Amino acid sequence: MDYVYIAGPLFDDHERSYLESIAKIFEDRGYKTFLPHRDAGVIKDKYTHEVKDQIFTTDIEALDKATIVVALLTGRDVDSGTSAEIGYAFAKGKTLIGIDANNVKFLNIFVWGLLGKGENIYNSLKDLERYLDEQ
């Protein structure tokens, strides 16, 4: 069974909810998923070295375990943490999928290249579902 790491910005409820919708699409098809905010936590109060280290360690272990990394590519620019996760996953030879959610902006060209020169980027959750159902 493929293990899917779902990367994206975690700054508000809407972003986290969208990431949860992506996870559900995969989970409904039998995949096991990792959502950083659900499975590693979000720093809310104490921004200590220990808390940051625990979250980083959990995230990196999940990235190493993942066979697929799905990245939400929305915002004025691709989130820096998401970009780092994409780069790490690419270097490790993971399958990369991007969701741009019909964002009205030009995607960073390097990120575009890492995502199969745009071939692995889907505009909507429906497009992602169609792709997965064709596999």
What pTM value is reported for the model?
0.88
In this structure, the number of other CB atoms found within 10 A of the CB of residue 62 comes to: 21
Residue 22 has what pLDDT?
A: 96
CATH class of 3-134: alpha beta
DSSP bridge partners of 71: 7, 98
SS3 state of residue 78: coil
pLDDT 10s digits, 46-88 = 778 888 888 899 999 999 999 999 999 987 788 999 999 999 9
Q: Is the pLDDT of residue 105 over 80?
A: no
DSSP bridge partners of 96: 69
Tokens in use for 62?
């999940």
Residue 47 has what pLDDT?
A: 79
Let me know: does 42 contact 116? Beta carbons within 8 Å.
no
